[in-house]
């Protein structure tokens, strides 16, 4: 069993990103036990101690049929324009969430979206890198942006 400490700062600037960090971590492990304590210091925050085991990867079957475009030269001129629109969307989203761009989407995911132009969440799920969590978080935005282009 392993242990990890998280701090969830209760400020408007940090609360959401701290919670997303914790949620992202917890998706990839098996939580055995938690302990929490509210810390009233200069910054008020929850200190969360998570006891966990690493989760065994179960992706081999699911990801084997996922699609990924990894070479920018595979895109047509129109697809490259769509890719650029999505890069700007990713930058805006990352800034809003206060995370690096790659946390939102990798370039290969954006290139694949530009190439395939998925019209449903199910089609988006076929793209490598998109699982239930990322689709719940960004799926509707991605489809709306594609439809507006």
Domain ranges of the chain: 2-54, 61-148
CATH fit for domain 61-148, picks 3.90.1150.10, 1.10.150.80, 3.40.605.10, 3.40.190.10:
1.10.150.80
Q: How far is CA 74 from the centre of its chain?
A: 25
- The whole-angstrom separation of Cα 127 and Cα 17 is 25
Query: Phi and psi at residue 66, in whole multiples of 5°?
Result: -80, 150
Q: Are strands 2-9 and 29-40 parallel, antiparallel or unpaired?
A: unpaired
pLDDT of residue 57: 55
Structure tokens at 145: 């942006």
What is the structure's pLDDT at 61?
Answer: 45
Strands of 44-54's sheet, edge to edge?
2-9, 44-54, 29-40
Query: pLDDT at position 106, please?
Result: 92
d(C-alpha 54, C-alpha 36), whole Å: 21
Buried b (16+ CB within 10 A) or exposed e, 100-109: eeebbbbbbb
pLDDT at 136 over 90: yes
pLDDT per position as a tens digit, 95-109: 999 988 888 999 999
Q: Quick count: other Cβ atoms within 10 Å of Cβ 148? A: 7
How many Cα atoms sit within 13 Å of 137 on the Cβ side? 18
Instruction: Give me the chain's average pLDDT, please.
Output: 89
Task: Please report, rounded to a whole number, the percentage of residues in the chain having pLDDT higher than 70.
Answer: 94
- Give the distance from CA 114 to its chain's centroid: 18
Task: Give 7-64 pLDDT, tens digit per residue.
Answer: 999 998 989 889 888 888 888 888 889 999 999 988 899 999 999 988 755 544 444 6
14-28, 49-63, 117-131, 134-148: which range is least confident on average? Answer: 49-63
Tell me what pLDDT residue 23 has.
85
């Amino acid at each position: 069993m392993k242990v990890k400490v998280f701090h969830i700062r209760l400020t408007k600037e940090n609360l959401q990103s701290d919670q997303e960090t914790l949620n992202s971590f917890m998706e990839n492990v098996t939580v055995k036990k938690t302990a929490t304590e509210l810390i009233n210091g200069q910054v008020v925050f929850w200190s969360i101690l998570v006891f966990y085991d690493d989760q065994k990867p179960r992706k081999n079957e699911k990801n084997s049929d996922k699609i990924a475009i990894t070479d920018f030269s595979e895109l047509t001129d129109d697809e490259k324009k769509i890719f650029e629109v999505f890069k700007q969307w990713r930058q805006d989203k990352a800034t809003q969430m206060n995370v690096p761009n790659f946390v939102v989407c990798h370039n290969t995911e954006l290139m694949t979206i530009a190439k395939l132009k998925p019209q449903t969440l199910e089609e988006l799920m076929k793209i490598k890198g998109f699982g239930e969590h990322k689709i719940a978080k960004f799926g509707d935005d991605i489809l709306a942006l594609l439809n507006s282009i």
